[in-house]
Amino acid sequence: MFFIFSVVFIWFPEVISSAVVTLDSIEINKTHDWLRSEPTVYFHCKEENKTDLPDVKKVHVVYNFKGEESWQPLTEFLTRRCKRCGLYEKDTIKSDYVFDEWEFCPSDFTTPDGRYIRFKDKEFNATFLCQECVPQGNNVSSNASSSHSGGNGESGGHGENGMFWVIIVVISVFASTVFVVGLISGYKYWQKRKRQQEQARFLKLFEDADDIEDELGIGPLSSSI
């Protein structure tokens, strides 16, 4: 286990299993498009699809979400790498208004329940939720390895939820490989054995034939009779 663990960390230090980010709550303090009666607010990460927030229409109203809405989740982290994401409002004439644009990172989710509050004065206050982003060592304090969880950030990365699945996958791949290799060598060995046996039987046949010929005192040419 320890060996596999080490190998995984040397090879894939930044892999986490998919960590889904949902919007927990949002409040906007301003709208910008004078032509629309209701704003169209959306969340967008670079190279991903836009996510419209269909409910967010009024300023100074806190919208709380369950995380199960049709437009959730907002995005997903596949590695510990940050994404360039932002909150925008569609604009009929000009380019879309940018509430905020920032580097959105799995390490932002520092509370034990995996919350991250993004607040910009006079603009918005949004709470994002990503439980899988939280290093496991932070909320499992009774764990035997908790002595290593003191430092946040890099060293905290060892205990992610995702790590468990990575290890499972690696072990499965390893076990399957061993199984397949074993199967192939077994089959090859069996083939070799079979060939040897056949050869032995073949030789024995000749010997037997010779014996019979000797006994009957006939030559090989007349043995077909």
Ligand X SMILES: *[C@@H]1O[C@H](CO)[C@@H](O)[C@H](O)[C@H]1NC(C)=O
Site residues (CB under 6 A) for ligand X?
25, 48-49, 62, 117, 119, 125, 127
Q: Which is nearer to ligand X, 4 or 62 (CB)?
A: 62
* Least distance in angstroms from the C-beta of 100 to ligand X: 14
The distance of closest approach from Cβ of residue 62 to ligand X in the complex, given in angstroms and rounded to an integer, is: 6
Per DSSP, helices labelled H in 73-160 are 136-139
- 31/127 with CB nearer ligand X: 127
Give me 132's structure tokens: 């899988």
Rounded Cα gap, residues 223 and 210, in angstroms: 10
Q: CB of residue 59 vs ligand X: minimum separation in angstroms?
A: 13
CB of 25 to ligand X, least distance (A): 5
Report residue 34: phi and psi, to 5°.
-75, -20
Query: With respect to ligand X, which residue has the nearer C-beta, 69 or 211?
Result: 69
Of the two residues 119 and 174, which places its CB atom closer to ligand X in the complex? 119
DSSP codes of every residue in 149-160: -SS-TTGGGGG-
Assess contact for 162 and 15: CB atoms under 8 A. yes
Judged by beta carbon, residue 42 or residue 137, the one nearer ligand X is 42
Q: What is the Cα–Cα distance from 104 to 86, expressed in whole angstroms? A: 8
Report, in Å, the least distance between residue 125 CB and ligand X: 4
- Reading phi first (left if > 0) and then psi (alpha if -120 to 50, else beta), residue 211 is in alpha
